[in-house]
Amino acid sequence: MIYKRSSALFNEAKQYIPGGVNSPVRAFKAVGGDPVFVKEAKGAYLYDEDGNELIDYIASWGPLILGHAYEPVLNAIIDKAKKGTSFGMPTEIETDLAKLAVSMVPNIDKIRFVNSGTEACMSAVRLARGYSGKDKIIKFAGCYHGHSDSFLIQAGSGAVTFGSPNSPGVTQGTAKDTLLANYNDLESVKALTTANKGEIAAIIIEPVAGNMGCIIPTEEFITGLRELCTKEGILLIFDEVMTGFRLGTGGAQEALGIDADIVTFGKVIGGGLPVGAFAARNEIMSYLAPEGPVYQAGTLSGNPLAMSAGLAMLTELNSRPEVFESLADKTEHLHEGFDNVLRTKGIPYQINRYGSMISVHFTDAPVVDFASSAKGNNETFKTYFHGMLNQGIYLPPSAFESYFLNDALSYGDLDKTIDALKKVF
């Protein structure tokens, strides 16, 4: 395929935007080459500035679970826009979406809307600290919770040491309150809680990880994590920015059968517009301003355009829960097809899948955490990514990202994708 105009647009963008992009993964640094510039999209397809049609497996990194330009969502946005885009004042639709979200998700009483997943996770941690009166948090290597300072932390020199900043601009003072554990390794969490007895406010985790590829928690790990938090008086935060309203109407809590203390949302809850949220039981949410002392605010939070998109999306999903089974079946079909192709090619690989999330890792060993994900052959991944792209398949341009299927994908699209893989290696 030809990407002449995309390359020209990227060169122009670099003159005015740092790196030419407004989010780093878009720059194709991990795979090489120039990024594809999208002109429009419909259903399961992207149409780029060079006139190429691409089958889409990122769905705007998750929110477009029913496909691009989904008519009920578009109509809701258009109708609301005609009445004004933002007021900075309360509107009824905020309550409508809150009521619906609370009815769909187990173990939450109230929800606060914000503008992004980063903002939701940042606010959830602040709320946990304010509620508990403790400062430290535990996060997991490879789990991404946005670019707030508390989350941009890498491992220290040992299992019970403080983390250290992995981005300039994050201070050592901030880093010292973030402890780093290993995903699917309950003993690493226990070591941290023992070494920091009575000091940990919360443990935050992607219940099904999507930022080191799709990584599934073992039952022993996720159940043990809940039991440990209850025993030690630590709040368990599920970052469901990716999994919320994607793994089922009740998200990962429902799918895994685990109750979190605070849950964060993004992606699907905005229907394609910038929306995030965090939610919990009444006794925790009552600590939030203006009801309580923990401050959080946002001029555009709950704006009517975003709320209308989210309400339309969640209404559709709530009325058609069979969508989740349909998506899981399609993802399984893709998994089986990829399995058959890669097995015959003799290439070391692992495929991880949960619901409508899936990822391919070019390694011999099972991928269960960040360390095992990082062992994947990146050169093979580059060949795979560009080979698929040249045949009209758009995958995440990073080996450390989950694919997100949308229900507009047909089995014909899936079979075309499987056939494309046969030609890559």
Q: Which helix (H) or strand (E) holds 284?
A: helix 282-285
Distance CA(199)–CA(193), nearest Å, equals 8
**Gap between the Cα atoms of 122 and 220, Å rounded:** 28
Angle at 49 between CA 399 and CA 334, to 5 degrees: 40
Place of tokens 């419909």: 42
Q: How many CB atoms within 10 Å of residue 256?
A: 22
Q: 140 - beta bridge partners?
A: 181
Distance separating alpha carbons of residues 159 and 168, to the nearest angstrom: 23
| 394 is known as an active-site residue | no
Question: Considering 267, 287, 394, 407, which one is annotated as catalytic?
Answer: 267
The reply to whether 149 belongs to the active site is no
Q: Which residues, 6 or more positions from 71, have their beta carbon under 8 angstroms from its beta carbon?
A: none
Number of continuous H segments (helices) and E segments (strands) in the chain: 14, 16
Element (H, E) at 200: strand 200-205
CA distance 154 to 161: 11
- Asked if 311 and 99 count as a contact pair (C-beta separation under 8 A), the reply is no
Cα–Cα distance, 135 to 22 (Å, whole number) = 32
Is residue 396 within 8 Å of residue 24, measured between CB atoms? no
Cα–Cα distance, 395 to 46 (Å, whole number): 12
Of the candidates 336, 326, 349, which has an alpha carbon nearest to the alpha carbon of residue 399? Answer: 349
The four Cα atoms 34, 40, 42, 44 give a dihedral, to 10 degrees, of: 0
C-alpha dist (Å) from residue 163 to 11, 374, 405: 37, 19, 34
267 is catalytic: yes
If you count them, how many residues does the chain have? Answer: 425
Residue 231 burial (CB count, 10 A): 9
**Active-site pick, 185, 239, 369, 407:** 239
Q: 248 to each of 65, 210, 253, how far by Cα in Å?
A: 11, 16, 9
Which residues are annotated as catalytic? 144, 239, 267
